[in-house]
Structure 1
């Protein structure tokens, strides 16, 4: 069996930052035996034309995500907290920009 087809290599998610001041954006996934090889492979696959200045590789098994199907139930509790909205606070006199 070739090394490229190794079935036991973990899946890594790759995030690329295009330039300073921007957020890392999910670029794709790859299989690699460890984080060093994952970074090298991510560099070769996702920044061949100088698209990035920074890479993150994260084991896919370490990522937890909310379900889009449960969006309403998951995010609704935040709407009940009116103190989080700026309309709840009164600005002191003399404060122009807050």
Structure 2
């Protein structure tokens, strides 16, 4: 096994422009957070895209299981008031 593959795995999130959310763009191996940010910059912003990079250790990410999709997300289906279509816009409201 190579030394690089023994480094921790990091998830990389990139924000393309101010005001936009960060989006997951990939993963990489790095020895520490500083190296992860530098490698992410070199790998994912070659053409000048991006104004902000986040790196997160993959081990710190917790996710729901795709196998539990129905029981995990079904409770929200019976709460129609959580959907924007439930509400009527007041007359004259332009920016809601």
Same topology, TM > 0.5: yes
1:23 matched to which residue of 2? 21
Q: Using a 3 Å threshold, how does the CA distance of structure 1 residues 41 and 85 change in structure 2: closer, same or farther?
A: closer
Structure 2-normalised TM-score?
Answer: 0.79
Structure 1-normalised TM-score?
Answer: 0.78
Equivalent residues in 2 for 1:13-92, closer than 5 Å: 13-85=11-83
Deviation at 1:6, TM superposition (A): 3.2
Deviation at 1:67, TM superposition (A): 1.7
Deviation at 1:19, TM superposition (A): 0.6
Could you list the per-position Cα deviations for residues 2-28 of structure 1 after superposition, in whole angstroms to 9, with x for gaps in the alignment? 7xx334310000011111111111111
Aligned residues: 93
Q: Using a 3 Å threshold, how does the CA distance of structure 1 residues 57 and 87 change in structure 2: closer, same or farther?
A: closer
Could you list the per-position Cα deviations for residues 27-74 of structure 1 after superposition, in whole angstroms to 9, with x for gaps in the alignment? 110000110000001001110110111100000001111122221110
Q: Using a 3 Å threshold, how does the CA distance of structure 1 residues 86 and 15 change in structure 2: closer, same or farther?
A: closer
Higher Cα Rg: structure 1 or 2? Answer: 1
